[in-house]
Structure 1
Amino acid sequence: PPTTPPPTTPPAGACTATYAVTGQWAGGFQAEVRVTAGGSPTRGWSVSWNYANGQRVSSAWNATVSTTGTLVTARNVAHNGALAAGASTTFGFLGSWNGSNALPLVSCTTTS
């Protein structure tokens, strides 16, 4: 399955996220997102992306996921929001797709 390149070192107070499909089958897939803190610790984080090809998230773990149209937003849960500088955590989810399952561009922001 396709993967994203490794992230660059995030600036202080920021975070980066990488999205990878870890399994795919007819009409469905499993993905994992790695969130990495920048040069400062985080108290929480939020990762968002837009699906361009009708993909949908059906269930997730280690994040609270909400969807509005094509926009997907994942927020930390209680046990993985606080990250030391440079530390990372992952969350995963199951989803569905039809036709194409292209990798989306992801963005990460920290919350206080």
Structure 2
Amino acid sequence: MTITNTGAAAVNGWTVKFSFPGDQQITSAWIGTATRSGKAVTATNAPYDAAIPAGGSTSLGFHGTFTSSDAAPTAFTLNGAACT
């Protein structure tokens, strides 16, 4: 997943939240952490990847599994603000 800062100020420390609509499970993550509780997923920065400059971006990767539904999430937030 790519996180792009479209704002005018740097982001220092980030948390992305979204919900899996299917039965996906996270098995591992890199360049940060990704955890799931119920359908809710919380992804946070690694210590070395906390800053996203204005107009810049960073990435978070994770592996997952699913049994019957791999539907894509439709709504994301970055530090509590809705993403576009």
Class of the TM-score when normalised by the shorter of the 2 chains: 0.7 to 0.9
Instruction: Tell me which residue corresponds to 1:109.
Output: 79
CA RMSD of aligned residues (A): 1.3
Deviation of 1:100 after TM superposition, in Å, equals: 2.1
Query: Aligned residue pairs: how many?
Result: 78
Instruction: Tell me which residue corresponds to 2:56.
Output: 87
* Structure 2 letter corresponding to 1:40: A
Instruction: Tell me which residue corresponds to 1:35.
Output: 3
The normalised TM-score by structure 2 is 0.84
* Structure 2 letter corresponding to 1:76: N
Instruction: Tell me which residue corresponds to 1:47.
Output: 16
Largest Rg, 1 or 2: 1
Match of 1:63 among 32, 39, 42: 32
User: For each residue in 1:67-102, what CA deviation from the matched residue of structure 2 results, as whole angstroms up to 9, or x when unmatched?
Assistant: 211111000011111111010000100000122211
What is the DSSP-based 3-state SS (H/G/I as helix, E as strand, rest coil) of the residue aligned with 1:79?
Answer: helix
Unaligned runs of at least 5 residues, structure 2: none
Distance across 1 between alignment mates of 2:69 and 2:35: 22
The normalised TM-score by structure 1 is 0.65
Match of 1:76 among 34, 45, 65: 45
Distance across 2 between alignment mates of 1:80 and 1:35: 11
Distance across 2 between alignment mates of 1:101 and 1:54: 7
Flag as ranges the 4+ runs of structure 1 deviating above 6 A.
Answer: none
